[in-house]
Structure 1
Amino acid sequence: MQYHSTRGQVSRLKFVETAMMGLASDGGLMVPQSIPDVSDKCASWKRLSYEALAFEVMRPFISDLPESVLKNIIEKSYSTFEDPLIAPVRSLDNLHVLELFHGPTLAFKDIALQFLGNLFDFVLEKTNSNLNILGATSGDTGGAAIAGIKGKKRINIFVLYPEGKTSRLQERQMTTIIEDNVHNICLNGSFDDCQSLMKSVFSDLSFRKKYNLGAVNSVNWVRILAQIVYYFHAWNQLDCPSNFDVAVPTGNFGNIFAGYVAKQMGLPIRHLILATNSNDILARFFNSGDYSRTDVNFSESPAMDIQVASNFERYLFYQLDKSSTKVSQVMEDFKVTGTVSLKSSWSEQDRTFLAGAASDMETINTIRYFHDQYNYLIDPHTAVGISVAQRIHQKDLPLLCLSTAHPAKFDRAMKAALPNEIVQHPILSRLEGLPERKHSMEVDENSVKSYIVSRAI
């Protein structure tokens, strides 16, 4: 399997090269040359463990790692999870919830970032080289990336996050990691500011090469690949229905794009139900073709407070007949004007997606309802997904909703919904009172570069 950029100037890379590049050097995103059809194999995977299933799903995309190495990386990555199923499904009447928060930082990002961190470690040891990772987070990516990288002698990680725009517990999961190779940079702006600055630094190719920058955000194809696995895993736990629908709370389009690839591989997903909060640029696109950036609204589901969804470019690549020329033009127009007038027929070509948005009030009410009705706690992002799905799901097929984080990470939303409940997790409780370290600065590319230069390996 080879990989190329959505913008056409990078091609014929193998998997490891793609992983180490992260964001393509032409500013695009790396995609596989083809998506393998595994529909004739799905049934035979039904009783596989998560680790064995991960190997089968990933293997067609990876031609440059020995099978034994890939198996070892997978085993090491998921040995850190507290549930033996890694991602168990909980059934609540006709709704099935895929719990993706049983990793070391209680977020779905752990599933990909544990794997990516161990992959980096293997490659760097084998090649006797070092890597400086630059990432941006709206909440969970930072903590999960740090958990996958901390203490690794050949890797430094620099995480950009918006001041006051993550939950306090999410911030502590980053800032209490006092390791020599961990550097948290707190910017006075939004997540979109952090992500835009990150991409701008990566676009400086001489700087990127000199300091050997790598990416852990979902711009890195490995993040998508690792997330494809749990769609197959959930289908197995549902006893392999002939078709099913999946609701995905999404801000950066990475999690739901993994579902899109799983469907292209042959997993019988009928609809992917895209759920956003009031930052509804993606919902507007799939409902009307309107892809226009507005001001970021800060909500009770902060990881989705995003107006510029990086992984959307990968989806456009497939919808625009894999035309790098068209993708480059669309992305350049969006960069300049903040809007792209896409014909609604483009989104209508793919009936896979249904889309909607949920307000903070709907989010809080959904958390409260599931606690009262089922004695089951959901975090605000999961509540967004369920709220939208219950509104538009056609109810003739099983409905799976991805639960992306443990509810204890979002104390403000949980207190608003359930003022008499104490929602805790021991991993988070242990962070209370620990010393913290972060570096605050304005949204300024030169300042961030100077900070990286002073601490790069």
Structure 2
Amino acid sequence: MRYHSTRGKVRGLSFKDAVMMGLADDGGLLLPESIPTLTPGDVEALGQLAYPELAFQVFSRFVDDIPAANLKNLIERSYQSFTHPEVTPVVHQDGVYILELFHGPTLAFKDVALQFLGNLFEYLLKERGEKMNILGATSGDTGSAAIYGVRGKQNINIFILHPHGRVSPIQELQMTTVTDPNVFNLAVRGTFDDGQSIVKEAFGDLEFKSRYSLGAVNSINWARVLAQVVYYFYAYGRVRRETGCREIYFSVPTGNFGDIFAGYIAKRMGLPIRRLILATNENNILSRFVRDGDYSVGQVTETLSPSMDIQVASNFERYLFYLYQQNPDRVAQAMEDFRKQGRLEFADAERARVGEDFLALTVNKTQTVETIRDFHAATGYVLDPHTAVGVKAAKALAGGEAPVVCLATAHPAKFADAVRQAIGREPQRPASLEGIEDRPKRCEVIEAETQAVKDYLAQNAL
């Protein structure tokens, strides 16, 4: 399996080289040159497997340069850190299925990919005798998951940017209380989009990227998307066994388009997904795109679901590649137009194709609180605000002819203020969060300037 850039100037990479490159050197995002397709029998067989074996079977279709025994070992080690024996269990509540993706060490779906990616980086660096400085931006959960994925690992330093004062208190503490010598937290005076822009500019400086051996953990790294494909197959298998239904909806709260793009890849592979329901908060560039063909940047609004407080979705370019019939020149031109004008326009035929894959809904703060409250009243189950956005969209848009799985992207204890607004009390804290406010902290507040971040990294790089 070879990998190429959405913009066409980087081609023929192995999986290992694609992982190490992160962002393609031409500024695009890396994708496999073909998507493996599965028969209905293949899908049924995969749905019977335990999570680590399913992960191995999915990964093996995209990875041909890591020996099978080594790949299995990396996968098994990665999911030993999860507190639930199923890794990503599915529970039925109030007419929807909840895919619980929050049983990893930082209580968020990002752990599913980043526990694996951390082990993979360590494996590849040891194999190559190299070092890496990871640079990433987070809107909340990616940062802590990435930090926990590589803390204490050999030959890796990690530098994570988060928007100062714009993540939840627990999200901030999960990052800043990790004081391992290889972990550097930077609170940027700006938004997540500012941080993400800084990261892309740093990676776009190829001399700087090479000199400091930059590595990417954001969802620009293909290995993260691939790891997230697995739980779509897992959830489908569990719901198929319970209901006997052949088709399924997935409702995905998303801001950066990475999690739902993994579902799109699963659909292209042959998973019988009727529609992917794209759920956003008021930062709704993605739902406007699906519903109205309007992909235009607005102002970032602070919400109760801060991990989705994003206006520029970094993974959207991967979907554009397929929407534009895999034409890299057109993708490159579109991204240059978007950089200059802050908007993209789409032909009617393209909008029709989008509608074949996605439904979308914008869910505001009031609706988020109401959904947490009503769902809890009906079931006793506590949703985090991001998951509540997905549940609201699922109930509004999924047809009754097929079951719907809602991705529960974070534990409600990470967003205690929103939960308290909804049900009058904070959710119970898992053991991993007990006493987190009292732990030592380390963080540097920095201006939202690319040069300032590059200077800091240069001073602290391996």
Within 5 Å, which residues of 2 pair with 1:97-108?
Answer: 97-108=98-109
Q: Quote the Cα distance in structure 2 between the aligned partners of 1:93 and 1:110.
A: 27
Instruction: Provide the secondary structure at the position in 2 that maps to 1:97.
Output: strand
Moved over 4 A (4+): none
1:8 equivalent to 2:13? Answer: no
1:437 equivalent to 2:438? Answer: no
Instruction: Provide the secondary structure at the position in 1 that maps to 2:157.
Output: strand
Q: Quote the Cα distance in structure 2 between the aligned partners of 1:410 and 1:434.
A: 19
Report what 1:114 is aligned to: 115
Aligned length: 457
Deviation per CA, 1:139-182, whole angstroms, max 9, x where unpaired? 00000000000001200000011001100100000000001100
Q: Quote the Cα distance in structure 2 between the aligned partners of 1:93 and 1:437.
A: 42
Deviation at 1:47, TM superposition (A): 2.4
Deviation per CA, 1:317-363, whole angstroms, max 9, x where unpaired? 00101001100111111111111122243121241100111000000
Report what 2:278 is aligned to: 274
RMSD: 0.9
**TM-score scaled by structure 1?**
0.99
Instruction: Provide the secondary structure at the position in 2 that maps to 1:238.
Output: helix
Q: Quote the Cα distance in structure 1 between the aligned partners of 2:450 and 2:326.
A: 32
Instruction: Compare 334-343 and 66-75 and name the one that shifted more.
Output: 334-343
The code of the aligned residue for 1:403 comes to A
1:246 equivalent to 2:250? Answer: yes
Equivalent of residue 362 in structure 2, options 357, 366, 369: 357
Q: Quote the Cα distance in structure 2 between the aligned partners of 1:335 and 1:128.
A: 37
Instruction: Compare 392-401 and 6-15 and name the one that shifted more.
Output: 392-401
Instruction: Compare 411-420 and 72-81 and name the one that shifted more.
Output: 411-420
Equivalent of residue 342 in structure 1, options 338, 342, 346: 346
Q: Quote the Cα distance in structure 2 between the aligned partners of 1:262 and 1:319.
A: 16
Instruction: Compare 346-355 and 95-104 and name the one that shifted more.
Output: 346-355
Instruction: Compare 411-420 and 126-135 and name the one that shifted more.
Output: 411-420
**TM-score scaled by structure 2?**
0.98
Deviation at 1:422, TM superposition (A): 4.4
Deviation at 1:423, TM superposition (A): 3.3
Equivalent of residue 405 in structure 1, options 403, 410, 418: 410
Report what 1:51 is aligned to: 52
Deviation at 1:93, TM superposition (A): 4.0
Deviation per CA, 1:395-439, whole angstroms, max 9, x where unpaired? 111011000000000011111112234432221123121111101
Distance 1:47 1:341, change over 3 A: closer
Instruction: Provide the secondary structure at the position in 2 that maps to 1:432.
Output: helix
* Partners of 1:411 and 1:423 within 8 A in 2: no
Deviation at 1:45, TM superposition (A): 2.2
1:453 equivalent to 2:458? Answer: yes
1:168 equivalent to 2:173? Answer: no
Q: Quote the Cα distance in structure 1 between the aligned partners of 2:346 and 2:237.
A: 37
Instruction: Provide the secondary structure at the position in 2 that maps to 1:187.
Output: strand
**Sequence identity, in percent?**
50
The code of the aligned residue for 2:443 comes to K
5+ residue gaps, structure 2, are none
Deviation per CA, 1:69-128, whole angstroms, max 9, x where unpaired? 100000000000000000000101421000000000000000000000000000111111
* Partners of 2:416 and 2:426 within 8 A in 1: no
The code of the aligned residue for 1:49 comes to A
Report what 2:21 is aligned to: 21
Within 5 Å, which residues of 2 pair with 1:79-228?
Answer: 79-228=80-229
Q: Quote the Cα distance in structure 2 between the aligned partners of 1:432 and 1:447.
A: 29
Within 5 Å, which residues of 2 pair with 1:300-379?
Answer: 300-350=304-354, 351-379=356-384
Report what 1:256 is aligned to: 260
Q: Quote the Cα distance in structure 2 between the aligned partners of 1:251 and 1:191.
A: 11
Q: Quote the Cα distance in structure 2 between the aligned partners of 1:93 and 1:274.
A: 20
Instruction: Compare 92-101 and 77-86 and name the one that shifted more.
Output: 92-101
The code of the aligned residue for 1:132 comes to N
* Partners of 1:414 and 1:423 within 8 A in 2: no
Deviation at 1:367, TM superposition (A): 0.4
1:415 equivalent to 2:416? Answer: no
* Partners of 1:249 and 1:382 within 8 A in 2: yes
Instruction: Provide the secondary structure at the position in 2 that maps to 1:335.
Output: helix
5+ residue gaps, structure 1, are none
Deviation per CA, 1:207-259, whole angstroms, max 9, x where unpaired? 00000000000000000000000000001111353101110000000000000
Q: Quote the Cα distance in structure 1 between the aligned partners of 2:22 and 2:438.
A: 35
Q: Quote the Cα distance in structure 2 between the aligned partners of 1:299 and 1:197.
A: 23
* Partners of 2:228 and 2:262 within 8 A in 1: yes
